[in-house]
């Protein structure tokens, strides 16, 4: 595909505006994440307290995402998004105030983190449903892939710049930058042209009539393909993509890389997410076959990562693992939106967000416990084997639910004759080896025997081996009674003489033709 197809969604003016504003906001968000972690760690000298802050931000997603999905399907998106951006800006300003004055201390940081998580939980489904209207259906998968690219690049840039700023002046400036970044999002919301949005009509007018959470659950239960994809995403997310835990365990343990090694591996993983987003953006169709293939690849590489002898070899393996993780997330998100009713899109996205949060909440402690008791290498090999089996099982179930499309394709491939190009050329040559004056389908009259060494004009030699149906080589197909003068005419095969004229010239000069 051409480079332009990789960024196809950027052809839409609304999406260009939104992507630029989203990139600015993502940079500010990751600056704030770094600032909060740094502040808590500096105040408590406890990694547990820092993890508790992260948990407070993720916990509301489990409870409030479903309500956010219902609101996304019932209320206009723009007022909700503007209110959410204003709330985020106010909370970031509150963090800056706490960092500068020290008022409230850690309890204030914890409270602001919890409220920030609650706002994000409600905002997420609304944002996802609204963003899907900025492009047409054909460009939705590309838009999601570019969104992953924006998040990955913004994360790298935000964490890199944030590390420099927090070391120089402290975390307060990071919180202030994040508060200002939401102004760009609000400006983009007002700049989007409503007439250019692609709002789909619901496939079933009464599907979301009650607009409640129960309707969303009932609808999902009637979508087995989407449920299987979400279940596979849960398994891969919990056991296959919690690399922040396994990378730390491998770096501190068998690889002996320490903190510097963990930082290097984190950078490699972030670069892999960017590459994965680019690969997903270049795909015309983000289908279930891509989901299963990426899952199998990530599982196999995870097993290899558990056997990696050093830091560099481990980094070389986790680079494609990170790329496959982004492809999996993008594919699941695209299918969840393309294969469901538009009236239920907010609640479907909410269910997807809950799935991701639960997988992280379950997988991280489980992988940490296994790494501590069984060893990091054994944990990676075991988790990779489980995810590989789960991916194969999901592939079989998806094939059955989708009318055995994969089985039919395999059967067609196996049933087709193995025709190679040389054989096709032989068949084409055999079709041309016939007298030029012969009529197709007409009975051929009996021919008189030809004298030895004579070639009738307009007739080409049939260079078949008797009884084999295969062409002999050009050397073997030459008449045994050729003279030296014939070689000169063989060298002029590409001359302007054609057909019967070439044959006549050959006979005229051949001393044995008399």
What are the tens digits of pLDDT across the range 230-256?
A: 999 999 988 877 777 788 788 878 988
Residue 63, both tokens: 């409870």
Tell me what the mean pLDDT of segment 377-406 comes to: 89
Q: Same structural domain for residues 185 and 247?
A: no
pLDDT value, residue 75: 85
Residue 493 clears pLDDT 60, i.e. is over it: no
* Residue at token pair 């890199």: 160
CA atoms within 13 A on the CB side of 25: 20
Strongest mean pLDDT among 33-47, 389-403, 496-510 = 389-403
Look at residues 384, 414, 444 and tell me which one is the last residue of a structural domain. 414
Residue 27 confidence (pLDDT) above 90? yes
d(CA 7, CA 281): 7
Asked if residue 402 lies in contact with residue 229, where contact means CB atoms within 8 angstroms, the answer is: no
Residue 497 reports pLDDT greater than 80? no
Count of structural domains, the chain: 2
73 compared with 298, residue with greater pLDDT: 298
The answer to whether residues 353 and 307 touch, using CB atoms and an 8 Å cutoff, is no
Inside any domain, residue 363: yes
381 in the same domain as 289: yes
Mean pLDDT, to the nearest integer, of 259-276?
84
Residue 241 and residue 273 in one domain: yes
In a domain, 168, yes or no: yes
Read off the CATH number of the domain in which 168 is found: 1.20.1250.20
Single residue among 166, 197, 228 that ends a domain in this structure: 197
Residue 463 lies in a domain: no
Rounded mean pLDDT of 393-414?
A: 74
Residue numbers of the domain that contains 369: 219-414
511 versus 227: the higher-pLDDT residue is 227
Domain boundary residue, one of 414, 429, 453: 414
223 and 192 co-located in one domain: no
For residue 125, is it within any domain? yes
**CA dist 374 → 368, 380, 431 (Å):** 10, 10, 68
Within a domain: residue 116?
A: yes
List 471's β-bridge partners, or say none.
Answer: 464
Tokens matching residue 236: 């891969």
Residues of the chain with pLDDT > 70, as a percent, come to 75
Q: Which residues, other chains included, contact 280 with Cβ-Cβ below 8 Å and sequence gap of 6+?
A: 141, 144, 145, 148, 286, 326, 327, 330, 331
229 with 369, same domain: the answer is yes
Within 8 A by CB and 6+ apart from 288, the residues are 225, 229, 331, 335, 398, 402
């Amino acid at each position: 595909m051409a480079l332009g197809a990789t960024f196809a969604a950027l052809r839409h003016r609304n999406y260009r505006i939104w992507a630029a504003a989203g990139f600015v906001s993502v940079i500010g968000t990751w600056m704030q994440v770094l600032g909060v972690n740094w502040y808590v760690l500096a105040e408590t000298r406890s990694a547990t307290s820092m993890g508790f802050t992260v948990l407070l931000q993720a916990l509301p997603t489990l409870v409030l995402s479903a309500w956010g999905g219902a609101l996304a399907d019932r209320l206009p998106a723009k007022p909700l998004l503007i209110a959410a951006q204003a709330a985020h800006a106010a909370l970031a300003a509150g963090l800056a105030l706490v960092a500068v004055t020290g008022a409230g201390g850690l309890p204030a940081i914890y409270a602001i983190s919890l409220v920030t998580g609650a706002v994000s939980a409600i905002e997420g489904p609304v944002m996802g449903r609204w963003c899907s209207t900025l492009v047409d259906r054909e460009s939705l998968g590309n838009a999601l892939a570019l969104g992953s690219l924006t998040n990955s690049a913004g994360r790298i840039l935000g964490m890199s710049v944030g590390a420099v700023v927090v070391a120089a002046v402290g975390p307060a400036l990071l919180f202030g930058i994040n508060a200002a970044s939401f102004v760009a999002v609000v400006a983009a919301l007002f700049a989007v042209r409503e007439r250019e949005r692609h709002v789909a009509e619901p496939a079933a007018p009464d599907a979301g009539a009650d607009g409640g959470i129960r309707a969303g659950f009932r609808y999902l239960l009637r979508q087995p393909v989407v449920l299987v994809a979400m279940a596979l995403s849960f398994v891969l997310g919990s056991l296959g993509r919690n690399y922040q835990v396994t990378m730390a365990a491998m770096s501190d343990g068998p690889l002996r890389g320490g903190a510097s090694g963990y930082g290097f591996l984190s950078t490699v993983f972030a670069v892999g997410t960017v590459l994965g987003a680019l690969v997903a953006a270049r795909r015309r169709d983000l289908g279930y076959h891509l989901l299963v293939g990426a899952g199998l690849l990530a599982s196999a590489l995870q097993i290899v990562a558990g056997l990696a002898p050093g830091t560099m070899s481990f980094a070389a393996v986790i680079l494609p693992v990170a790329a496959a993780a982004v492809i999996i997330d993008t594919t699941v998100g695209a299918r969840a939106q393309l294969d469901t009713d538009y009236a239920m899109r907010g609640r479907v996205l909410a269910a997807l967000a809950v799935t991701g949060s639960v997988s992280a909440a379950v997988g991280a402690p489980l992988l940490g416990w296994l790494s501590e008791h069984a060893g990091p290498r054994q944990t990676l090999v075991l988790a990779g084997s489980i995810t590989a089996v789960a991916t194969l099982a999901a592939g079989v179930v998806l094939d059955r639910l989708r009318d055995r499309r994969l089985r039919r394709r395999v059967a067609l491939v196996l049933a087709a004759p193995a025709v190679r190009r040389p054989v096709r050329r032989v068949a084409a040559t055999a079709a041309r080896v016939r007298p030029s004056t012969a009529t197709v389908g007409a009975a051929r009259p009996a021919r008189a025997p030809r004298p030895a060494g004579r070639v009738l004009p307009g007739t080409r030699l049939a260079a078949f081996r008797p009884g084999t149906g295969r062409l002999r080589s050009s050397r073997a197909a030459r008449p045994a009674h050729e003279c030296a003068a014939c070689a000169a005419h063989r060298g002029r095969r590409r001359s302007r003489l054609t057909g019967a004229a070439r044959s006549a010239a050959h006979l005229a000069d051949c001393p044995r033709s008399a």
